[in-house]
Amino acid sequence: MRKRCSLVGMPGSGKSTVGRQLARRLEVPFIDLDQRLEEVLGSSIRQYFEEQGEEAFRKREADLLAELTSRPGDMILSTGGGAVLREDNRANLLAHGGSVMYLRAAPDEIFKRIRHDKARPLLQVTNPLQRLRDLHAERDPLYRAASHYVIETGRPTVNTLVNMIVMQLEMVP
């Protein structure tokens, strides 16, 4: 079974939570792109966004994604919610990210999960639910374009989602 997998999806769709459990189950390294970025940047993503702007952040994100996907071996990689905005990132994930899974969640579900999270820079707006709806409308086609499989995250538990992904990975030659 192939044990190289990248997770894409909206902020709050469960990429980090599911990714950690999946890596544990498969006994492979887990890499959270946002967490690594904060280590590389020496600041929070929110602070970097505020000080340098989104374009500078997206460039650093793309560079780190390219570095991580060029590494050999098995891993579970949780990408940032906006990683798919750049065409080169989408191509990189499909070519080098292993099996790419889109963890698809409805904006209303995501809002319930993350409405109190102040660390997400794109949601620090007057109407975060509308912002999530707008982001979802913009990004859903990009997540689909950057992934091999779509996993609906609506009702299943984390363990069920992990099982669903493992079943997909077992079918990959």
Query: For residues 51 and 56, what is the distance between their CA atoms, to the nearest angstrom?
Result: 10
Instruction: Determine the pLDDT at residue 154.
Output: 82
Q: What are phi and psi of 106, to 5 degrees?
A: -70, 145
- Sequence ranges of the binding site for ATP: 12-17, 120
Binding annotation for substrate: 34, 58, 81, 139
Q: How far apart are the two ends of the chain, measured CA to CA in Å?
A: 7
- Distance (Å, whole) CA 118 – CA 79: 19
Nearest-angstrom CA–CA distance, 114 and 16: 13
pLDDT tens series, the chain, 173 aa:
779 999 999 988 999 999 999 999 999 999 999 999 999 999 998 889 889 998 999 999 999 999 999 999 999 999 999 999 999 999 999 999 999 999 999 999 998 888 777 666 667 788 988 999 999 999 999 999 999 999 999 878 999 999 999 999 998 76
At residue 2, the pLDDT reads: 75
* HSE, side-chain direction, 13 A CA sphere, residue 114: 24
Domains along the sequence of the chain with CATH:
4-171 (3.40.50.300)
CA Rg, the chain, in Å? 15
For the whole model, what pTM was predicted? 0.93
Annotation: binding site for Mg(2+): 16
Residue ranges at the known binding site: 12-17, 34, 58, 81, 120, 139
